[in-house]
Amino acid sequence: MSASLLRSLPSVDRLLSTERGQRWFGTYAHDYVTATCRAVLDHIRRDIQEGRLTSTEDVVQERILESVDARLAVTREPHLLRVVNASGTILHTNLGRAILAQAAVDAVVTVASQATNLEFDLERGARGRRESEVEKLLTALTGAEAATVVNNNAAAVLVGVNSLAAGKEVIVSRGELVEIGGAFRIPEIVARSGAVLREVGTTNRTHPSDYERAIGPNTGLLLKVHTSNYRIVGFSSEVSLPQLVSIGRAHRIPVMEDLGSGALVDLSRFGLPKEPLVSESLVDGADVVTFSGDKLLGGPQSGLIAGARARVDAIRENPLHRAVRCDKMTLAALAATLRLYQQSPDLARDIPTLRYFTRPLDEIAIIAEEASRLLSDALGPFYRVSVEDGASQVGSGALPVDTLPTKVLAVVSDEFSADEIAGRFRSARPAIIGRIKDDRFLLDVRTVFDPNDLVPRQG
Ligand SMILES: *Cc1c(COP(=O)(O)O)cnc(C)c1O
C-alpha cells in the first residue's frame, strides 16, 4: 500500500506546472518555491513510510498544493511586527527600548534609501570620518573633549576596558559587579576584554582604602559601574566618583565610569527622580564615560563613549572599535536625536521617551476611559474591564526603584484565566502586550495614545 502511495506522489515539476504553481512564481523567489515544494513532498513521503498517512485521499495533488501554499504563506508575515506596548515598562528591552523621534526616523529613511556622505567630507572633497557629526554633538552636549560611538553600551565597555587596560588589572567594587540582563555581566566583560578583574570591598560597603590597597604596578584602570537594575540599601557605602578620581590621579591610573543609561538632561526638570548626568561625571573627572543610546537618551541602539581626548583616541584606534562600529542608519538616527537635545525648544514633546515620562495623568485618564468603553464593547459579556490607578516603570535599568503614577485597564473574566486573556491580546495584530499582576491582566495606558490600539483585532 505505502509503495503505491509513494508512486502516486506528484513530482516537483508537476506541482510547479499547475496554475497555482505558476502563480507562486509571481509572488515568491524561484528557489524558495522549489525548495518548499521539495520539503512538503519529503514530509509526506516520510509520513507515508512511517505509517502516518495511509489513504490516497491524503496525497491528492490538490491537498499537496494547499500544503505548499500554507507553508509559503507563513513567511509572508515578518517576524518583527508592530506591537502595542501597554506593559507598563516604558523602555522595555524585549519590545525594542526607545521609540525614535520623528526627526530620527526621517534621517534613517534618507540615508537608507540614497547615497550619503557617510565618510566623505563635502568641503574638502576627501575622505571624512563617519562619526564626526555625532562626536561634535556629543562633546557639545556633555562638555567632553572627545567622543565616539559603537554598537551598544556593552561594546563600549568592552572596547573601553580593552583599550585602557588589556593585560592589566581593572579594579571594581564588589557592590558593582552587576549583571544587566541578556548576558551582560561585568566580570565576564572584563575577562573578555583581556584585562584581569580585581574585586575590592564587599557587596554592601566599599571604602577608598580598599582601592588604595589593591593598587599595584599592574593596575590599569579603576572602573565604576552604575548598578542599574538594583539598589543596595541599608548599611551600605560606596566610593563616590570624585573620590575614585582623586585616587586615580594620585597613582596616574585612568578612571572609567559605565553609567548604563546616563542622561543628557536633568530629569528632575520634568518632575522625575534624577539619573546621573554624563556631563557631571565628566566634571567629576572621569576619563571615560560610557552609556546607552536607546535608554533614557531616547535614540537608537548604540554605545556612547565620552571623555578625555587621549583616552577616546586610544579607544577609536583600537581594531575592536572597527569591529563594533555603528552603521549609517544608527549614526543618522543618533545624530538627529542629539540635534534635538541641542535645538528642540520642547524636548518632552519631540523625544517620545521623554514624552512618555512626562505625560500628565489626566491625559492618560481620558484615553483610559475611552479605551475601557471600546474594549468592553469589543470583548463582549465574558469580560469585565475597569480603569484603575497603577504604576509605570522606566525600564532598562534606569531609575529602577521609582515608578510613575498611571492608569491601567484591568481585564478580567470568569471564563478565562489572566494567562489566557494575555494570550488573546498577544495573538491580535498588532499584538497588544500587557502584564499580569496578582493574577489579573493589566494594560498600562501611559504609552498608548490611540484608545483603539487597545482593542484586539485580527490581522
Ligand atoms: C544597560 C547597561 C549596559 C548595557 O548596555 P546596552 O546598550 O544594552 O548594551 C551596560 N552597563 C550598564 C550599567 C547598563 O545599565
**Domain boundaries defined on the chain:** 2-76, 83-94+356-454, 102-348
> pLDDT at position 1, please?
67
Q: Which residue's C-alpha comes closest to atom 6 of ligand 1?
A: 153
Instruction: Confirm or reject: Cβ of 184 under 6 Å from ligand 1.
Output: yes
| Domain boundaries 83-94+356-454, corresponding CATH code | 3.90.1150.110
pTM of the model: 0.92
Q: Which residue's C-alpha comes closest to atom 1 of ligand 1?
A: 260
**Bridge partners (DSSP) listed for residue 235:** none
> pLDDT at position 78, please?
86
Distance of CA 365 to the CA centre of its chain: 28
Nearest C-alpha neighbor of 378 from the set 333, 340, 428: 428
Q: Grid cell 498588532 — which residue?
A: 430
> pLDDT at position 402, please?
84
Residue 437 CA to residue 33 CA, distance in Å, equals: 46
CA of 366 to the centre of ligand 1 (A): 35
> pLDDT at position 238, please?
94
Q: Which residue's C-alpha comes closest to atom 7 of ligand 1?
A: 153
Strands 146-150 and 303-307 turn out to be antiparallel
Instruction: Confirm or reject: Cβ of 397 under 6 Å from ligand 1.
Output: yes
DSSP 205: B
Which cell numbers hold the place of 304? 556612547
> pLDDT at position 459, please?
65
CATH topology of domain 102-348: Aspartate Aminotransferase; domain 2 (3.40.640)
> pLDDT at position 457, please?
94
> pLDDT at position 220, please?
98
CA of 93 to the centre of ligand 1 (A): 11
Instruction: Confirm or reject: Cβ of 228 under 6 Å from ligand 1.
Output: yes
State the Cα torsion 39-41-45-47 to the nearest 10°: 70
> pLDDT at position 180, please?
86
Instruction: Confirm or reject: Cβ of 153 under 6 Å from ligand 1.
Output: yes
Q: Which residues of 146-155 are buried (b: 16+ CB within 10 A; e: fewer)?
A: bbbbbbbbbb
pLDDT averaged per 10 residues in sequence order, the chain, 459 residues: 87 95 93 96 94 85 94 86 96 95 98 96 94 97 98 97 98 94 89 97 96 98 92 91 98 97 90 89 98 97 98 98 98 98 96 95 98 96 97 85 93 97 97 97 98 92
